[in-house]
């Protein structure tokens, strides 16, 4: 049975402020916020963001990709792109497969133009592999899923060497630093 989420209005404040008052119906069983917290602590319920690709904006780009501890594979996409939709299931599948080793992020270039311009994204989908915030390799277009997987594996194997040979990113944009 598919998961359905039902919001409930509540006037009482929750013990955990970051959980809103809602109930989750999973396989005819309703789970309330207090139960979600305890299930997350026990490890019985997995957080979605651990396996799912992260949606990144211009504002969250620096913390999510450039200053991240893990390498990142970024999919620059457009909601109207017909070639992006067939690639999304494979992107999500590889996000689950490489969870904990690589960050999988998506950037909508229609609403986050600054980041797309900064990295020279001219068509979608564009897949860019970043290691320590620096672009290591790119794939443009709807590619075979095996090529996407190979991009991740080669990035993990050779990314550190490529970063050592590249220049440092200067975060000072005023020109007076």
The answer on pLDDT for 56 being more than 80 is: yes
The answer to whether position 177 is within a domain reads no
116 and 95, same structural domain?
A: yes
Residue that is last in its domain, among 45, 61, 76: 45
The mean per-residue pLDDT over the stretch 145-153 comes to 94
CATH assignment of the domain containing 106 = 3.40.30.10
Higher pLDDT among residues 3 and 171, named by residue: 171
Tokens standing for residue 37? 């917290």
Cα–Cα distance, 139 to 128 (Å, whole number): 7
**Quick one: pLDDT at residue 134?**
86
**Quick one: pLDDT at residue 11?**
43
70 and 33, same structural domain?
A: no
CB atoms near residue 115 (< 10 Å): 21
DSSP one-letter string for 122-160: -SSSEEEEEETTEEEEEEESS--HHHHHHHHHHHHHHHH
97 and 11, same structural domain?
A: no
136 and 98, same structural domain?
A: yes
Cα–Cα distance, 91 to 48 (Å, whole number): 15
Domain residues for 17? 4-45
100 and 126, same structural domain?
A: yes
- Work out the percent of the chain whose per-residue pLDDT is above 70: 62
Q: Residue 7 — very low, low, confident or very high, per pLDDT cuts 50/70/90?
A: very low
The answer on pLDDT for 123 being more than 90 is: yes
Domain count, the chain: 2
Q: Residue 173 — very low, low, confident or very high, per pLDDT cuts 50/70/90?
A: low
26 and 77, same structural domain?
A: no
The reported pTM is: 0.66
The answer on pLDDT for 176 being more than 70 is: no
**Quick one: pLDDT at residue 58?**
94
85 and 38, same structural domain?
A: no
Question: Do 127 and 74 touch, CB atoms closer than 8 A?
Answer: yes
């Amino acid at each position: 049975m598919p998961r359905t989420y039902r919001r409930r209005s509540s006037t009482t404040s929750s013990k955990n402020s970051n959980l809103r008052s809602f109930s989750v119906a999973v396989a005819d069983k309703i789970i309330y916020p207090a139960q979600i917290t305890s299930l997350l602590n026990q490890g019985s319920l997995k957080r979605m963001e651990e396996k799912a690709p992260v949606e990144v904006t211009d504002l969250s780009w620096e913390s999510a990709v450039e200053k991240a501890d893990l390498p990142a594979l970024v999919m620059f996409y457009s909601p109207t792109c017909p070639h992006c939709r067939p690639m999304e299931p494979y992107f999500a599948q590889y996000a689950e497969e490489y969870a904990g080793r690589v960050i999988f992020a998506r950037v909508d270039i229609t609403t986050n133009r600054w980041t797309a311009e900064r990295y020279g994204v001219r068509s979608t989908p564009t897949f860019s592999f970043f290691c320590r915030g620096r672009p290591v390799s790119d794939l443009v277009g709807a590619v075979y899923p095996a090529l996407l997987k190979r991009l991740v594996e080669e990035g993990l194997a050779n990314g550190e060497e490529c970063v050592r040979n590249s220049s440092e990113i200067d975060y000072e944009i005023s020109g007076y630093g």
